[in-house]
Structure 1
Amino acid sequence: MTKASALTEETAHRTLVAVCEQVGLDPAGAELIRIGSNAVYRLAKPVIVRISRDSETVENARRQVAVARWLASKSYPATRALDVDQPIELGGHVTTLWESASEREEYAPLTQVAELIRRLHDLDAPASLALPQSQPFAKLDEYLPDLELVDLSDAVFMRERIGQLRSRYDALDFALKPGVIHGDANVGNVILDRDGDPLLIDLDSFCLGPREWDLVQTALFFERFGWHTEDEYRAFVEVYGFDIMTWPGYPVLAEYREISMTLWLSQKGVSDERAAAEVHKRIEAIRTGGSRRDWAPF
């Protein structure tokens, strides 16, 4: 395996040019949309190129492409993988290519988010897709070393809190039948395409597991963050057909999501003072039961 160079704008663009040459696309005029866990480009031709930080994600990238092609075979409205041999490993990075659904980022209303989640939960994945079982706490364990670099005392507290949360999670009695889940379903992952129709994106966390995971973020964003109105949330519940906030396990999944959002940000906090301050503020809110309504987006 080739050792990955750090994912900077320079190395990402170099990888972009090499990948485009390999698949016969023109990188001229490519727009860097964002750079974080991935570098994401939009080409002049309606194609999205995602470049990972390292090649450890190759299996996940293969799965994303396979999931996208399976969803396309079911006429399910999700992001479509470009019809090329992919993922592509170059320079220690893994690249995937996708059809660009729109030139602007416009999110679907919650009723359409609920409809797509409900339709997804109606599907049964074939065994050939080899979807993994949900392992939510494995991701938290990956983030903790970054938090230790930001604030060791916060890391000690969070490690203990995660241990308590894991015990509570293991005791949960889920209300919904498990199956295919997006794993990160929320309004930010359902966009409107050029025709104004909703489209599910970001298939990184696709797996098999409790369906409640695809409902908790919408409830959390309404109940604790105030990002959705009560009318919007009630409409979401009516379309999907289940209110996760009435289930006794909701607070456990909600706290998990808060911790996950905070630990994810700790990666940036290692080199970004503003992100580090936000991480500390969030942990204090978790520690004391303080308001989440001032959590800044990143």
Structure 2
Amino acid sequence: MTDVTPELDQKLRHALKGICQEAGLVADGAELVKYTNNAVFRLPSQHVVVRFGAGDLAGQRADHVAGIATWLQSNDAPAAKLASGVSEPVVFENYSATIWELLEAGNPAWTGAELAVPLLDWHALTPPQGLKPWDPFSSARSRLAMADGLAPDDHAWLTQQWAEVEAGYRAILPDLQVGLLHGDAYIGNLLREPTGRFVFCDFDGTSVGPLAYDLVVAAVSALRFGAIQDHESLASTYGLDVTTLPSWPVLRRIRELVLVTSVITDLRNRPEIAKVHAHRLSTLRSGANELWQRYK
């Protein structure tokens, strides 16, 4: 269960109720399972999951996610499916939502080996024409512009770090293998269909980008969260250890910056998240290779 203040919980549930009314659903019994950039509610009685965010950026992402999800389904890709009978995305006030079929999630027995199977299938697909190029840098600039509760010195440091790593990425881009990138390929974004097939959810970062980055996610989790076995089993099953590639230092730095920039738009209303974020940022600034806690 994600911890939020009573005020924020009330705000999110107001949004959920409005979204459900727009979609012809009932919000009774909704369970908040995650809230980082987006709020994710499980509605067991409706057999769906509702995922939404606020503002212009959330609206753009919802449009993108709904479009790519439709394409993935048409190609029978290992991907979560939008709920049938709902026009996506759903808009209520300044919130934009996508609604998904409810699938099994969060099995602690799943490892990097289970992650590798759908990832290999994704990377074998030819991206749809017109799919946007991977651009974590614009997203970071947007979050920095909307930062709330971030100290000015930390804001300036993050801004500089993003500028430097973007220049480093542009320099190595011609040498990278690009294709259909999930963008946040970790076990927390893995689901299992009733058939037993593993599929991905969360397509915010799905784009045309360096395939190696989908392996970097697990490699950085090994370094920062101690998930060493998951990285090793992913590398073994996929057939590549990303830490051996020349692009590893730059892609690692991008991932670490993503992990300290993703929540900065709402630190003031999320005290527990703010504590975890403060430790991540201070250790990244100091260069300490300390383990991090996960956002809850």
Distance 1:34 1:141 in 2: 24
Distance 2:185 2:174 in 1: 18
Compute the TM-score of the two structures, normalised by the length of structure 2.
Answer: 0.85
| Residue identity (%) | 26
Distance 2:157 2:90 in 1: 40
1:297 paired residue number: 294
8 Å CA contact 2:147–2:266 kept in 1: the answer is no
Using a 3 Å threshold, how does the CA distance of structure 1 residues 176 and 223 change in structure 2: closer, same or farther? same
Q: Which stretches in structure 1 are left out of the alignment for 5+ residues?
A: 1-6
**Which residue identity is paired with 2:245?**
W
Matched, 1:33 2:33: yes
SS in 1 for 2:107: coil
**Which residue identity is paired with 1:52?**
G
Deviation at 1:23, TM superposition (A): 3.4
SS in 1 for 2:140: helix
1:72 paired residue number: 73
Using a 3 Å threshold, how does the CA distance of structure 1 residues 124 and 287 change in structure 2: closer, same or farther? same
**Which residue identity is paired with 1:270?**
R
Using a 3 Å threshold, how does the CA distance of structure 1 residues 284 and 15 change in structure 2: closer, same or farther? closer
8 Å CA contact 1:148–1:155 kept in 2: the answer is no
1:164 paired residue number: 164
Matched, 1:135 2:135: yes
Distance 1:75 1:168 in 2: 36
8 Å CA contact 2:181–2:210 kept in 1: the answer is yes
Deviation at 1:24, TM superposition (A): 3.0
Paired residue for 1:93, among 83, 92, 95?
95
Distance 2:31 2:272 in 1: 26
Residue deviations 1:224-258, cap 9 Å, x none? 442222xx433312321222111112011111111
Residue deviations 1:182-240, cap 9 Å, x none? 111112211334554422111111111111121111111124442222xx433312321
SS in 1 for 2:228: coil
**Structure with higher RCO (Cα < 8 A, 6+ apart):** 2
Q: Which stretches in structure 2 are left out of the alignment for 5+ residues?
A: 1-6
Distance 2:52 2:224 in 1: 33
2:4 paired residue number: none
Distance 2:272 2:29 in 1: 31
Distance 1:32 1:272 in 2: 15
For the pair shown, which has the larger CA radius of gyration, 1 or 2? 1
Deviation at 1:123, TM superposition (A): 0.4
2:3 paired residue number: none
1:110 paired residue number: 112
Distance 2:17 2:72 in 1: 29
2:244 paired residue number: 246
In the alignment of these two chains, the number of paired residues is: 286
Matched, 1:82 2:83: yes
**Which residue identity is paired with 2:90?**
I
Instruction: Kindly report the root-mean-square deviation, in angstroms, between the aligned alpha carbons of the 2 structures.
Output: 2.5
Distance 1:142 1:115 in 2: 33
